[in-house]
Chain A
């Protein structure tokens, strides 16, 4: 198991290297000249050359990459041209926790709704309940999250007034109020996942229930609830985890849209605003950070998968 972990960490390191190179190349390709941007419209040749050398832009790309990477690793990500804030603080300390909270809340919601829906759908196969659950799953899976967010704001925020429509309260400062503010965004983001989870749960459960170890468990006198929720679901967890891992891109995609719709100060909002402002250093920080997040979460999911499936656990 450790060997496998090491191999994966090695592979991840390689991917991270490429992520960093890609981010660096992106910064280099970005139009506009950082020096003139920093100096503003009013500069002369001398001050330009001075800053150009100061920033190390006369050195070869490889050297620039090395020093950039060094800065990046030590948390020196530069300052925003717009707000003059430290980008590391902006991205990692302020935006990232918001996105993580939103994603975690949405995932919990999606699991709490999606798994029972999938189980019900599988157990009552081909009844109206199954049809309803499948229908909701298909629509939830296809409905564009940014439009769903708008509808939810309209119905539950403006119409019924149950939830705040915009804004953010940090859950780590005030848990209840924070969750209350995050509920509509989390539902928006979860809608897509609920459908996915319900469908995978249904299909895997139907497959698992056909196995003879299920029959064997019943032959030992286990009740049907325990057979489904313990014996069968333990085996459904594996394909479910794989799917959730494979669809992380979808989660991030939804998170960006959701944050913008609900004006949540997360990573997606940061990247969108920076893209609109053409603030490349901030975009690049966001790109690098989301790449990092993506790779790390993939690694975690992979480990989780190994841990969930005993057949993989001791083969290494």
Chain B
């Protein structure tokens, strides 16, 4: 077990989360090794962002009903006292939000934003904070960093704001960086830059990262492993390249078919139907109502079966 603890940074074990009557997550299990990157893929409402918030401890009891375990660097997080959890957030676990414009406080300057984790977690004094903030801004490719410290978020472009978000998330050298669709609020031209920047920063620090994405092709490019989620359940998990080359679960296949990167336009096939509401989920396989291969067997819940390097939950795979 010791060796496992050494190579594993984060492990989710049978994590279930319910909010009121809605079962947002059901039995989610996956692990993340040190220095690894994992991608969480799925449509909106699949529970990707919920996983991110659950890991960083912003969705906890009594606000939601949480079962299962989240272990981070050998520590069980679900039972961790709030005061200790606070020491992890923004310090050893960094979170990059989807929409930086909304995630930056309009009344605080960039400098004030950056200074917060630096003083809270690292205890830096004003002068060191300023020095470190400038370095951070420079490291995420913001020029004239000293001037930008006094700028308010609305005075920056969307890409700049996201860079500030990244700088903040990296301020305390986290072991784990969670990026929740970090580029989807940005212009297409800037998306690649920002993604590249995050990857480069993560690699430079030998940190681990979780990318929440909805684009399978992008996930295949930037992640070591990919976890495919559907309606709060893991339906398939595999090394990124393998999954992209040979998706086994019908849902993963459909997602791949949706991906524009695939090439020819006529290969673009929409998935029929919509993600079911989380308050009245179908029994058995949750994807069955939309699945072209659904059969009588799918009325029973398929188990997540390990097959070599991948795991899959489908009767027909």
Contact = CB atoms under 8 A, between A and B. Distances in A.
A302 to B, nearest CB: 18
B154 A221 contact: no
Interface string B87-118: 11111000101010011111111000000110
A217 B107 contact: no
A218 B58 contact: yes
Interface stretch (A59-67, A168-176, A207-215): A207-215
B120 A310 contact: no
Contacts of A222: 86, 90, 116, 120
A29 interface: no
Contacts of B116: 217, 220, 222
Contacts of A311: 106, 152, 154
B90 A220 contact: yes
A219 B56 contact: yes
A308 B152 CA distance: 12
Given A311-B152, A314-B155, A218 B89 contact: yes
B102 A221 contact: no
B71 interface: no
A306 to B, nearest CB: 13
Interface string B119-153: 01100000000000000000000000000000010
B25 interface: no
B87 A221 contact: yes
B168 interface: yes
A235 B105 contact: yes
Contacts of A212: 97, 99, 102-103
Contact of A211 (B89, B102, B117, B154): B102
Nearest to A214: B105
A215 B165 CA distance: 13
Contacts of B168: 220
A215 B90 contact: no
Given A212-B102, A234-B105, A220 B97 contact: no
A31 interface: no
Contacts of A300: none
Contacts of A223: 86
B107 A235 contact: yes
A234 B109 CA distance: 12
A217 B120 CA distance: 12
A85 interface: no
A221 B121 contact: yes
Interface string A239-275: 0000000000000000000000000000000000000
Interface string A272-316: 000000000000000000000000000000000000111101100
B203 to A, nearest CB: 23
Interface in A220-242: 220-223, 231, 234-235
A310 B152 CA distance: 7
A215 B105 contact: no
A140 B116 CA distance: 39
Given A220-B117, A221-B121, A235-B105, A215 B58 contact: yes
Interface string B155-186: 10000000001001000000000000000000
A230 to B, nearest CB: 9
A213 B95 CA distance: 12
A74 B91 CA distance: 64
Contact of B90 (A221, A234, A313): A221
Contact of A216 (B103, B106, B152): B103
22 contacts: A212-B99, A213-B102, A213-B103, A213-B104, A215-B53, A216-B103, A216-B104, A219-B89, A219-B95, A220-B116, A220-B117, A220-B120, A221-B86, A221-B90, A221-B120, A222-B86, A231-B108, A234-B105, A310-B107, A311-B154, A313-B152, A314-B152
Interface of A: 211-213, 215-223, 231, 234-235, 308-311, 313-314
Given A216-B95, A216-B97, 11 more contacts: A212-B97, A213-B105, A216-B103, A219-B95, A220-B89, A220-B168, A223-B86, A308-B107, A310-B106, A310-B154, A313-B152
